[in-house]
Amino acid sequence: MKNVIRLGLLALTLALLVGCGADKIDGTNSATLNESLDRMVSQMDRAEATRFRRAVQVAGLNGESLFQVASSGRAIDEVLADNLHGMTAKQIFERAEALQR
């Protein structure tokens, strides 16, 4: 019986550790993209959230302007999802900074 309890506690601990990783963007579709972004922004203070939104624009559009993306014929949400999928907030900040150099 003790082994079963130990095994259960080990499984619970592992599940909690795996779930504690940094949030990542889910670019599967527009809804999951927006949910991911909202979840990230909700964990930031106002100044950081403002900086993050700007970083999302830069990194998400891969340094291109809205006009360039719109003229490509692709939907903006699709471009953002493709470019941000799987990224953490830290990675988005880093990517935006690199593109702005």
Half-sphere exposure of 8 (CA within 13 A, CB side): 5
The rounded Cα 39 to chain-centroid distance in angstroms is 9
CA–CA dist 23, 90 (Å, integer): 10
What's the pLDDT at 18?
41
The rounded Cα 56 to chain-centroid distance in angstroms is 9
Q: What is the mean pLDDT of each run of 10 residues along the chain (101 residues)?
A: 56 44 86 94 94 94 88 90 95 95 86
Half-sphere exposure of 41 (CA within 13 A, CB side): 16
Identity at 33, one-letter amino acid code: L
Q: What secondary structure does DSSP assign to 43-74, as a single string?
A: TS-HHHHHHHHHHHHHHHTTT--HHHHHHTT-
What's the pLDDT at 101?
86
Tell me the whole-structure pTM to 2 decimals. 0.75
